[in-house]
Amino acid sequence: MDGKRQGSLLLLLLMSNLLLCKNVASQPMCPSGSSCRVSLRDLFERAIILSHYIHSLSSELSQEFDAQYSQGPEFFTQAMSMCHTASLSTPAGKEQAHQIHQKDFVILVIHLLRSWTEPLSHLIIEANHLPKAPDTLIAKAMEIQEQNQRLLEGVKKISKLVDPEIIDNGDYSVWLGLPSLQSNDLESRLFAYHNEFRCLRRDTHKVDNYLKFLKCQIAYDGSC
């Protein structure tokens, strides 16, 4: 089987898998044409399914990029730099998490999700200019972008049930990474992508863990 045909089959398999997972994550809370009230627990469960899916995709995306572009075991070690969301004060563990007011914690999750709206958009556009960029890599990035927006809207709904007076002022961490993604130096561009995908994997893991913690504290009164 030639490389082009094999690549097409791999992309087809990936898209089939993404559609299957997407269908699981996007099933409606209420049957079509019915009227029902979605509980806070149900909203959290749906959000956690989605956040776990996004984190899994982010991990695959990071691994696929490194496998495609790494030039050796230590190639990307010099690419490590601070994530653009480092300015957000996030808890390092459960002890610190318990010290954050629930309302502030929900807002933190919203800010984390929104902080990736712009970077994801540019990552997808600029990835098309990478040499031999796999179609599967771009497809995963596009899926993460779409599902991140869905999760953001879902957490906003949760925030209104947690505290109707929560005000979302649209805050997010400013991203300044576009010039690095557009660098004329290929190695600099690869380092920039590696770092962005590493940060995305880290932040999606945080969101997944924070939602699980909040579900336990808010929907189950800390009894789980």
The phi-psi region of residue 33 (left if phi > 0; otherwise alpha if psi is between -120 and 50; otherwise beta) is left
Is there a binding annotation on residue 135? no
Measured distance CA(158)–CA(153) in Å, rounded = 9
- H or E segment at 27? none
Going by the DSSP 8-state scheme, the letter that residue 220 receives in this structure is: S
Is there a binding annotation on residue 208? yes
Both tokens assigned to 16: 């089939």
Instruction: Report the residue count for the chain.
Output: 224
Residue 174 makes CB contacts below 8 A (sequence gap 6+) with 84
Both tokens assigned to 188: 């600099």
Sequence ranges of the binding site: 52, 208
* Known binding residues for Zn(2+): 52, 208
